[in-house]
Amino acid sequence: MEVAKELIEKAFNSNSSKYKYVFAIIDKRWECQLHHPLHVVGYYLNLEYFYNKPEIENCLKLVKSHEVKDMISVQLAEYKGVRGLFGIGVAIRQRSILAPGKMEVHFFTIIGRM
């Protein structure tokens, strides 16, 4: 988003009076997206961010149901413990290379070939 804003600023020759309204619209839309529970989950499931920033566990506060929180906690134990597919060397090396959604498919394909 920052790159897009830089290009807009450049297109208006850095005249803020011409682009400040556009930036206000962008900021309003972007702010809404960043504080959405789906964004938080995506951030949590992105291995590069997860293992580098453990404070993102706070997303559990967004879940209201105690039963769902318990289920999430059990499933996250394997994820956090880097067990199963998350613990193999190639998975660890590719945290910052593969897109989060493609990682699971990639490793299931590899295991299917073994």
Taking Cα atoms as reference points, which of 101, 95, 98 lies closest to residue 47?
A: 95
Please give the mean pLDDT across all residues of the chain.
72
Average pLDDT over residues 6-10: 88
More confident residue, 31 or 24: 24
State how far the Cα of 68 lies from the Cα of 50, in Å rounded to an integer. 20
Q: Determine the pLDDT at residue 56.
A: 55
For 96, what's the count of Cα atoms within 13 Å in the CB-facing half-sphere? 5
Give residues with Cβ within 8 angstroms of 40, minimum separation 6: 56, 59, 62
In this predicted structure, what is the pLDDT of residue 114?
45
Calpha distance 18→45 (Å, rounded): 39
Residue 11 has pLDDT above 80, yes or no: yes
111 pLDDT higher than 60: no
Give, as one character, the DSSP assignment of residue 59. Answer: G
| Predicted local confidence at residue 47, as pLDDT | 66
Q: How confident is the model at residue 7 (pLDDT cuts 50, 70, 90)?
A: confident
Distance CA 46, CA 48 (A): 6
